[in-house]
Homo-oligomer: A and B are copies of this chain.
Amino acid sequence: MHFPGVLSHPRDCTDAGTPILRYIPAEKRQHPVAMLIRRYVRSINQTVTFAAFTKRAFTVDQRTRLSTFFVPQSDKVATATKEGSAHALLVKAGFLRQAAAGIYQLLPLGLRVQDKIERLVDRAMRGVGASKVALANLSSSELWKKTGRWEKGGDELIKVYDRKDTAFCLAPTHEEDITNLVANEVSSYRHLPVRLYQIGRKFRDERRPRFGLLRGREFVMKDLYTFDASEADALKTYDEVTRVYRELFDKIGVPYLVAEADSGNIGGSLSHEYHYMTKIGEDTVLNCKGCGYTANDERAATKLGRRDTSYETRYGLCSDNQLVAVHYPSGREINAISVRKTVPTFTGILLPSLEGKSWDSKLNVTHLFDENIAKDTTAPALPQNVECESSPSVVRELILIKAEASDPCPKCSHALESHRAIELGHTFHLGTKYSAPLGAKFVPEGGSKGSKDIIMGCHGLGISRMVAAIAEVTHDSKGLSWPVDVAPFKCAVIPGPKHDEVAEKVYDELTKVLGEDEVVLDERLGKSVGWKMKDADLAGYPFIVVVSKAWDKEQKVEFQVRKTGEKRYVTLEELGEAFKQ
């Protein structure tokens, strides 16, 4: 900054540290520009040196100031990223940067959102009496070999070898480590239940990382592991976790779905997913508005109530000497998971014909009929190249097809709706899948009956994914728009020209209402009030308070609500009430 005729100082001086006021000659003290400088120096209540003033304000006090707080807004970055998506907005508004494919750096605003979510999750975990631990990212291959997941982990498991060639993985999840930990500490029913959780980095070498934080290779998860003495206790624990998960999602305030889910590779028999609905979601969830039935598309059932006499057939290959013939209503899709419930060795491969196939041994064949096919339909003849061990078995009245949008709900017949969705949380009743191979046992009450495997549950939440998902669901044409409880700051204070001093007073008042570190002061030099309001809309602070002319006239500030666009003038006293609405 250069003030010709006011400061007795060359523009490119380097004698930083000398108070700027010394450079105003006595006879220029009443010059309007000189008065502006003096007022500014007084307003920040600090000695301003020439160098500090000509660069930019970097004021360190108890207030969070956008001049000091690091919110880079590189035009380079903004234009290089596709406009419109929440991820592009997160980059443009300075919440995060990409370091490599699927690997992100959280900048201060982004980290604050993530920290807010973590604190809400901590509170939820306290609600089930869970204690917080911090396990290592490097996880010993020994344990993963015991559960068979060292091999099954496939390409997604990132393997690391130390200087002695000992194998570790970068843990994508911590069932092995936590079960081993608990196995060493728990020996009696008296030590149960145990509920442990952590919030930390996880690693997965995704084949196609994308959508920013939604599908990254290094991400932050909350993982809760529960240990109970009986199936009944474990199911009660599962219900308690469900309760605090719902409370957490209610608190954040973004509409969500809780879907019945298949428990998949992680094992167990009871599982739910927590979803936000959004076009860019990679999952599909079917939901009934009639009775609330919700399930992901791999699990969702439907009752078509048909009794077709014609049908289609697919042949399912198995990992043993079985073959499964699936008969289902024409034009529908087969649900592989349903087939596997009857024939567990089914590989998932379904063929319309077996032409050209041959087998080493004779086959055990099972015919599966969907419930929508007439009961008296006889099983068709098998292709000639299939040699049977014995006569084929027939199972009827199965639900074998995937539910689709506008199919009838299996519970109440209402039409199902289909939604694209992002999975944020996943709860699993694990049973003894990990406790058995890792020897997590306890002596039950009574004692004489020997030891039993601990019954486990695991309950994940994608913390960094939630940052992106909330941004995705809540953003609008002006930018991000955070729910109050996860916003990086609840309120931005924007001083009008010459209103720096009173803006600080307003900042301090707001802090009393909203909390110690919930307000940000935008006193950046050289930016207009209009620019700052647009920038605050982009960053998505739920509330904006502009301190300008209305203050001089009637001691009022302009109060803006980001989500509704509401704007009105209120006194400081009225502000407290305004936030509550």
Contact = CB atoms under 8 A, between A and B. Distances in A.
Contacts of A54: 445
Contacts of A103: 136, 138
* Chain A interface size, under 10 / 10 to 19 / 20 to 34 / 35 or more: 35 or more
B134 A105 contact: yes
A197 to B, nearest CB: 10
Most chain B beta carbons < 10 A, residue from A77, A186, A446: A446
A248 interface: no
A452 to B, nearest CB: 12
A201 B201 CA distance: 9
Contact of A58 (B58, B77, B111, B193): B193
A74 interface: yes
A283 interface: no
A131 B192 contact: no
Contacts of A184: 74, 76-77, 97
Interface in A35-89: 51, 54-56, 58-60, 68-70, 72, 74, 76-77
B162 A217 contact: yes
Nearest to A240: B60
B134 A185 contact: no
Contacts of A55: 189-190, 192-193, 229, 445
B185 A218 contact: no
Contacts of A139: 99
Most chain B beta carbons < 10 A, residue from A55, A108, A158: A55
Name the prevailing secondary structure of the A interface residues.
mixed
Interface string A147-181: 00000000100101011001010100000010001
A135 B60 contact: no
Given A131-B108, A140-B99, A181-B105, A162 B168 contact: no
A318 interface: no
A391 interface: no
Nearest to A128: B60
26 contacts: A12-B445, A16-B232, A55-B190, A58-B129, A58-B193, A60-B127, A60-B129, A70-B133, A72-B191, A74-B184, A76-B184, A77-B185, A97-B184, A99-B181, A100-B136, A105-B135, A106-B134, A107-B131, A108-B132, A136-B218, A137-B218, A158-B160, A160-B160, A162-B217, A163-B205, A163-B207
